[in-house]
Structure 1
Amino acid sequence: MEGTTPPRTYEDSALPAGYDGPAVERWSAEPDKRAGRTAFQRDRARVLHSAALRRLAGKTQVVTPGTRGQGWDASPRTRLTHSLECAQVGRELGASLGCDPDLVEAACLSHDLGHPPFGHNGEQALNEFAADCGGFEGNAQSLRLLTRIEPKRFVRDPAAAPGAAAVGADLVSVGLNLTRAALDAATKYPWPRGARPADPASPKFGVYEDDRPVFDWVRKDAPGTRACFEAQVMDWADDVAYSVHDVEDGLHAGHVDPGCLHAEPERQEIFAVAVGRYVPADTDPAELAEALDRLLAQEWWPHGYDGSAVAQARLKDATSQLIGRFCLAAEGATRGAYGSGRLTRYGAELVVPREVRLECAVLKAVADRYVMQRAEQELLRADQRIVVAELAEALTARAPEGLDPQFRALFDQAGDDRARKRVIVDQIASLTDASARSLHAWLTARRSP
């Protein structure tokens, strides 16, 4: 009735400490079903229960599951286990700095949701296919998935959610309908394609043009292209988790020889991989050598790893020591710059000492050199690119055949070829490694003679 004050929701009455009302707003307002939860606890639960998160179990991280390494029981990380570990690292680091831990965990769980089958290799192939409809980038796809594709919340009035994915005459999807702060925290690259500060040619971006309405809503009152503090924590947690764990998986699978880290010219090859890819191109390799030597000098470093139970225990301890080293350094430097107060949103920048960033970069380069650059991996990547390219071609020719019901409906409602192509991209990006190969085999087998 006109003049009646609407009832307050639980989110209205219980703001998480350090956050204001706009931070917990959702694109489509909705009351909580249960008292006692914060808005960010709801966000974390929604991501944790999403199908998109479960699908990450079928997407390779670095070492392909089932390959012969130090033992048949090796269990390398997938995108899912990486995301869970990233979430644990980010939650603790964020909490130590005053962030809401559920908010940071939700962002960490979300950060890889948009990755397509076959990881960065599939991302490259999809970007080539999507060149004329806005390109493809895993981080931009994550935002699209969170705000459009993952079916959780629908609104009846399309005008209430401009840009959302239409699913019927009077329904549009707003995805998981997370809070503004959660979506912002999951946005590692808060700019559209070609707008990265100081590097417009960079392939990294966080939003497609189709998704600008919700992106602009998320970034309301944000200072330009600066990532929020929680996103910076998520980004560093991601770097820490994958740099440390990729080396752990590489050692356990037998791809990384610990002795090579002491030998020439192997060390120079590692530094060459790091420069330009993981550190600025003008970085002195001598600094990287010093960074690697600092790590090798630690008494907990897993020298002479041989896969035995004792060696595995030492390796696991080294993993814990490295994560602690990298996170404590960031916590200490950030506290030194900003003091002991609660750090949230745009009130601070995460400070990571240069020496620690170089140590992290060296670990990334080790995994890159000895795991990702193996000859058999390049053969596998070439095959994966063929699968994605042929799958995209087959779906373009046969769609809506081959599309899941969700994407079939969007394809039928698309207004032009560009929009239909984006639906095909969304379908492929949603697949696991195995389902991409299965759909590729089914479609290519059905080609007309």
Structure 2
Amino acid sequence: MTLAPYACRPEDSRGRLHPESMSTFRSPFQRDRDRIIHSSAFRRLKHKTQVFVEHEGDYYRTRLTHTIEVAQVARTIAAHLGLNTDLAEAVALAHDLGHPPFGHTGEDALADLMAPYGGFDHNAQALRIVTRLERHYAGFDGLNLTWETLEGIAKHNGPVIGPRASGSHSVPEGGTLPYALAECNAAWDLELDTFASAEAQVAAVADDVAYNHHDLHDGLRAGLFTEADLMDLPVTRPAFEEVDRLHPGLDPTRRRHEALRRVFGTMVEDVIAVAQNRLEASQPQSAAEIRAMDGPIIRFSKPLYQNLKAIKSFLFTRMYRAPSVVVERQRVTAMIRDLFPLFLGDPALLPGEWRADVAAAGDETELARVVLDYVAGMTDRFAIQEHERLCGGGGGNGGA
């Protein structure tokens, strides 16, 4: 495939922190993608929740199935825009590696517990995993990914610092970088005040496309709302109306699938159309020009963005804060609040392979970060098992 002038080219990569010889049959970005797929952290995504706790049902999305869906969308969009599909896929596959057990609920609990020790951010934790915590290679810790992939993980949602800082992982003026991101950036400047490559921006939008689609599907399957409720929303209503017009009397399962895949297609087509228009207008001639822009080149149109905000608001009320989900959030929050101080107070409870990190910790902050690495790496089921083993009972004692 011929790459567009604004695409990231593997031959122009800034390389790796630890120099390695080139692969005879894979580009640097293909190699990054493969290392991510073969990492321990990637395998653990199979048993980490998306919205529902992992054991609640075999049909709900996990972090792994979500990640695979994001990678598929990213490849589709990147290929159509003449971007490097391998880099877009690598960033997509790595974007959720830092998520702790129990999804955003676990992240919120760990952020509170880590507030005295430099905080916690799953995006920064993903960088810590791929630069330090994966320990399989003889010559280095981490996966030794290219600069472009690390940059994409760090700022696929937009600049992290500076006047253009945006997105959920940005740091306000005068704020402090998450320590895991600060450590990575100190070792290798990721230019946190600029936008990421177009490939990384594609991965970020693909994340939005995937979860907007599958959260609707999972919420319906869980019975938290019905198809009739979706007839009051933009995007979903015309999708169902079109299916009813083309396939009257379709059985409910097929009707749901047909409508939601149209929602999916609407989002992807919108992103591609907007990107094509913006690229045609700006005529960037290099990836560096993409990074230097005042805003993202890959994004939803303003009308669709507003419509998706309405859907997200609906999902927040009817799904993320549904009574049954809130009860489970309280239960798993209590588990994290039990486990973290338990390991911090008695690090001998950590497995043997963590003892060297404990011994190297010079103070309580460094010890807390070791405990965080261990707890954040747990799967849902392992966290539940460890809580049962160490604390007893299925709930927690830490409160909601």
What range is the shorter-chain TM-score in?
A: 0.7 to 0.9
Does 2:310 align with 1:310?
Answer: no
Alignment partner, residue 389 of structure 1: 337
Pairs within 5 Å for 1:105-116: 105-116=89-100
Alignment partner, residue 272 of structure 2: 331
Out of 344, 347, 367, which is 2:289 matched to?
347
Amino acid at match of 1:366: F
Change (3 A) 1:122 1:299: closer
Pairs within 5 Å for 1:181-200: 181-187=148-154, 188=156, 195=161, 197=163
Report how far residue 393 of structure 1 moved.
1.2
Amino acid at match of 1:52: A
Out of 104, 115, 123, which is 1:131 matched to?
115
Alignment partner, residue 169 of structure 1: none
Report how far residue 22 of structure 1 moved.
5.7
Out of 18, 31, 51, which is 1:28 matched to?
18
Out of 171, 175, 195, which is 2:142 matched to?
175
Pairs within 5 Å for 1:183-262: 183-187=150-154, 188=156, 195=161, 197=163, 208-216=178-186, 218-220=188-190, 222=191, 224-262=193-231
- What TM-score do the two structures reach when normalised by structure 2? 0.83
The CA distance in 2 between the partners of 1:83 and 1:230, in whole Å, is 16
Structure with higher helix content: 2
Q: Which secondary structure state, in structure 1, belongs to the residue aligned with residue 348 of structure 2?
A: coil
Q: Is the 8 A contact 1:392 1:428 kept in 2?
A: yes
- What TM-score do the two structures reach when normalised by structure 1? 0.75
Cα-to-partner distance string for 1:302-331 (whole Å, 9 max, x where unaligned): 77xxxx993222322233222221122111
Alignment partner, residue 313 of structure 2: 365
The CA distance in 2 between the partners of 1:153 and 1:358, in whole Å, is 46
Q: Is the 8 A contact 2:29 2:86 kept in 1?
A: yes
Cα-to-partner distance string for 1:145-169 (whole Å, 9 max, x where unaligned): 11111123354xxxxxxxxxxxxxx
After superposing the two structures, state which structure 1 stretch, 362-371 or 392-401, moved more: 362-371
The CA distance in 2 between the partners of 1:344 and 1:369, in whole Å, is 43
Alignment partner, residue 55 of structure 1: 44
Report how far residue 197 of structure 1 moved.
4.9
Alignment partner, residue 294 of structure 2: none
The CA distance in 1 between the partners of 2:167 and 2:8, in whole Å, is 37
Does 2:360 align with 1:413?
Answer: yes
The CA distance in 2 between the partners of 1:353 and 1:177, in whole Å, is 36
Cα-to-partner distance string for 1:337-373 (whole Å, 9 max, x where unaligned): 2229788644332142111112322332332222221
Q: Which secondary structure state, in structure 2, belongs to the residue aligned with residue 298 of structure 1?
A: helix
The CA distance in 1 between the partners of 2:167 and 2:111, in whole Å, is 14
Q: Is the 8 A contact 1:97 1:335 kept in 2?
A: yes
Change (3 A) 1:326 1:17: closer
Pairs within 5 Å for 1:76-155: 76-155=60-139
Amino acid at match of 2:147: R
Cα-to-partner distance string for 1:263-298 (whole Å, 9 max, x where unaligned): 6xxxxxxxxxxxxxxxxxxxxxxxxxxxx3454123
Alignment partner, residue 275 of structure 1: none
Amino acid at match of 2:31: R
Q: CA RMSD in A?
A: 3.1
Does 2:320 align with 1:320?
Answer: no
The CA distance in 1 between the partners of 2:74 and 2:211, in whole Å, is 12
* Structure 2, gaps ≥5 residues long: 1-5, 291-296, 393-400
Q: Which secondary structure state, in structure 1, belongs to the residue aligned with residue 239 of structure 2?
A: coil
After superposing the two structures, state which structure 1 stretch, 176-185 or 356-365, moved more: 356-365
Alignment partner, residue 40 of structure 1: 29
Change (3 A) 1:196 1:250: farther
Change (3 A) 1:372 1:29: same
* Identity over aligned pairs, percent: 31
Report how far residue 301 of structure 1 moved.
5.9
Cα-to-partner distance string for 1:160-187 (whole Å, 9 max, x where unaligned): xxxxxxxxxxxxx530111011111122
Change (3 A) 1:247 1:211: closer
Alignment partner, residue 400 of structure 1: 348
How many residues align structurally? 372
Alignment partner, residue 379 of structure 2: 432
Out of 59, 65, 79, which is 1:75 matched to?
59
Report how far residue 243 of structure 1 moved.
0.7
Q: Which secondary structure state, in structure 2, belongs to the residue aligned with residue 113 of structure 1?
A: coil
